[in-house]
């Protein structure tokens, strides 16, 4: 059904304006309903994301900066809901223009919030700067300008944004787009910690240098794409954004007539004496992916200790080189165990020794099974020899090496160029603050995740998840999309419970159940 589409299109601002006009048609009731859905999702998501900063206080001080358009209305409605969730809190409204200039629905939202006991209203425009500067706020909602903004930002609005950027604000949230965001963004652009794309994700949020101003992106799906109007208008092609429904197939009861063989068998070829932990993390994540069986081929010097830590996996001690990497002599044991596998994960912690690389090449030559390649297995001569479905999981530096380009020039479109040039059939996951997946006929971005994922071991966990999903029978495209969203949402749960700093990648394992609980 359309309401459960896994991906939605990313639109240019002009396209988004055209789309919303076609969808809502200037109908006041439809627009009011859309604003209500936006504000509910916005307030709810802010309450969740605020926990990555610290627990929301019982008496938060909230600043709502509202422009005259619907963005201002969304911010005011969300501020009202936040105040209802924290009745001991206080909301301060800063109208960017005279409220008399507000659109009717924004004016309606303003008057409703203004009537609350714990609400104060500042003078409109830049006159409030001297009054408010020096105050501290727990939360600020930027609802000044949205997708109809045309640069440059000037006059009173520029002064307001500069004032906001100087202020002491714990959590900065931009509604739809940070005010002033454009290719030439500077100090006249609101600096957000989180940007909440409302209804449609717009291209300016995905520009290379936009992260400085947008912070972490969240996409609020309010059902715009349930109607199928985007397909009528030809907007379903091009860049896409992944939605939460990607994981719906994991949120169901499993059939009772099953055993461990019903859910696939993943073989992991990873680790070295120098980097044993990567293999352990990959196997642990694979076991949490739902796969029925996991066989791990690791250097013999670490196999017994790993078996004591993770007895659920079948650990195969393999011959190793003097330096502690997997040697070519391991191929016999690997080939024997491979006969029962349904997918293979290769690379985490495996090292770059010539003999180990020769082993990887031999495995790739030998098998037609689905394979996920990560870390030191991401070498161009090896990748080109893959015969079956594949998932590559490079970060920017690894992809630059694969594509023979400079890391600074890596952009999502290069994923398509790379796959086309080498005739590869599978999926490429470009890991980063915005993770992109090129697969089948789509180039999709995941809006899920947290900065807790930017640490050693995080990629090994993703490899285990994707490998397990491949082994269960999911396609390369589905396994990569599901794995990335699952990994990202688990990161959000970890950050909300433990913060961004005093955590480790291994802690993510304890939150993998959260995203798939209905």
Write down the pLDDT at residue 395. 96
pLDDT category of residue 477 using cuts at 50, 70 and 90: very high
175 three-class SS: strand
Interhelix angle 331-338/354-366, rounded to 10 degrees, is 30
Q: Quote the pTM value.
A: 0.95
pLDDT mean across residues, the chain: 94
Distance CA 366, CA 34 (A): 55
- The pLDDT of 485-505, averaged and rounded, is 97
Is pLDDT above 50 for 299? yes
CA distances from 375 to 109, 218, 300, 371 (A): 51, 28, 21, 13
Q: Which residues contact 25 (CB under 8 A, 6 or more apart)?
A: none
Write down the pLDDT at residue 185. 74
Residue 283 burial class via C-beta count within 10 angstroms: exposed 0-12, middle 13-18, buried 19 and up: buried
CA distances from 480 to 7, 11, 129, 216, 428 (A): 13, 23, 48, 21, 8
Write down the pLDDT at residue 115. 97
Question: What is the set of domains in the chain, with CATH numbers?
Answer: 2-237 (3.40.50.10260), 263-516 (3.40.1190.20)
Write down the pLDDT at residue 4. 56
pLDDT per residue as tens digits for the range 322-341:
999 999 999 999 999 999 99
Q: Could you tell me where the beta strands, DSSP code E, fall in 148-264?
A: 168-175, 194-198, 201-202, 216-220, 239-242
Is pLDDT above 60 for 216? yes
pLDDT category of residue 145 using cuts at 50, 70 and 90: very high
Write down the pLDDT at residue 2. 37
Write down the pLDDT at residue 372. 98
pLDDT per residue as tens digits for the range 232-276:
777 767 899 999 999 999 999 999 999 999 999 999 999 999 999
Write down the pLDDT at residue 3. 40
Q: Could you tell me where the beta strands, DSSP code E, fall in 39-165?
A: 61-66, 90-95, 119-121, 136-143
Write down the pLDDT at residue 319. 97
Least Cα distance to 239 among 4, 517, 465, 11 occurs for 11
Is pLDDT above 60 for 285? yes
Is pLDDT above 50 for 1? no
Distance CA 227, CA 3 (A): 8
285-318 b/e (C-beta count within 10 Å ≥ 16 → b): bbbbbbbbbbbbbbbbebbeebbeeeeebbbbbb
- The pLDDT of 127-143, averaged and rounded, is 94
DSSP H helical segments within 434-475, as ranges?
Answer: 458-471
- The pLDDT of 135-145, averaged and rounded, is 97
Distance CA 518, CA 252 (A): 8
Rounded percentage of the chain residues whose pLDDT exceeds 70:
99
Is pLDDT above 80 for 184? no
């Amino acid at each position: 059904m359309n309401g459960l589409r896994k991906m939605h299109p990313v639109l240019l601002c002009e396209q988004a304006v055209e789309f919303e006009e076609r969808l809502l048609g200037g109908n006041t009731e439809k627009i009011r309903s859309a604003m209500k859905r936006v504000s509910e999702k916005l307030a709810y998501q802010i309450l969740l994301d605020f926990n990555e900063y610290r627990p929301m206080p019982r008496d938060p001080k909230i600043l709502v900066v509202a422009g005259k358009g619907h963005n201002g209305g969304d911010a005011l409605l969300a501020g009202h809901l936040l105040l209802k969730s924290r009745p001991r809190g206080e909301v301060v409204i800063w109208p960017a223009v005279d409220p008399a200039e507000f659109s009717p629905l924004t004016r309606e939202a303003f008057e409703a919030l203004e009537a609350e006991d714990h609400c104060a209203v500042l003078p409109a425009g830049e006159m409030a700067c001297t009054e408010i500067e020096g105050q501290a706020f727990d939360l600020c909602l930027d609802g000044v300008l949205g997708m109809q903004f045309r640069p440059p930002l000037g006059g009173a609005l520029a002064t307001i944004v500069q004032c906001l950027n100087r202020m002491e604000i714990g959590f900065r949230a931009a509604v739809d787009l940070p005010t002033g965001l454009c290719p030439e963004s500077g100090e006249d652009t609101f600096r957000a910690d989180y940007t909440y794309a409302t209804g449609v994700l717009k291209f300016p949020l995905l520009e290379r240098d936009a992260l400085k101003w947008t912070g972490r992106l969240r996409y609020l799906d309010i059902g715009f794409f349930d109607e199928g109007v985007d397909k009528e208008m030809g907007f379903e092609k091009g860049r896409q954004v992944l939605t939460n429904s990607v994981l719906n197939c994991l949120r169901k009861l499993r059939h009772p007539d099953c055993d461990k063989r019903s859910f696939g068998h993943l073989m992991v070829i990873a680790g070295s004496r120098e980097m044993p932990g990567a293999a352990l993390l990959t196997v642990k994540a694979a076991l949490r992916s739902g796969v029925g069986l996991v066989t791990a081929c690791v250097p013999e010097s670490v196999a017994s200790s790993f078996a004591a830590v993770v007895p659920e996996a079948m650990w195969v001690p393999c011959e190793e080189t003097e330096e502690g990497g997997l040697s070519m002599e391991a191929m016999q044991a690997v080939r024997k165990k491979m006969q029962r596998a349904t997918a293979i994960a290769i690379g985490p912690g495996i090292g770059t020794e010539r003999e180990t690389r020769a082993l990887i090449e031999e495995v790739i030559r030998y098998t037609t099974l689905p394979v996920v390649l990560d870390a030191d297995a991401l070498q161009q001569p090896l990748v080109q020899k893959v015969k079956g479905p594949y998932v590559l999981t490079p970060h920017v530096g690894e992809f630059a090496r694969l594509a023979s380009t400079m890391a600074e020039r890596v952009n999502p479109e290069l994923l398509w160029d790379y796959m086309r040039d080498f005739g590869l059939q599978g999926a490429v996951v470009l890991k980063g603050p915005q993770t992109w997946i090129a697969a089948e006929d789509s180039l999709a971005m995941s809006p899920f995740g947290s900065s807790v994922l930017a640490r050693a071991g995080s990629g090994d966990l993703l490899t285990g998840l994707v490998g397990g999903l491949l082994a269960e029978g999911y396609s390369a495209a589905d396994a990569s999309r599901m794995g990335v969203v699952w990994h990202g949402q688990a990161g959000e749960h970890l950050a909300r419970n433990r913060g961004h700093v005093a955590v480790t990648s291994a802690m993510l394992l304890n939150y993998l159940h959260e995203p798939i609980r209905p």
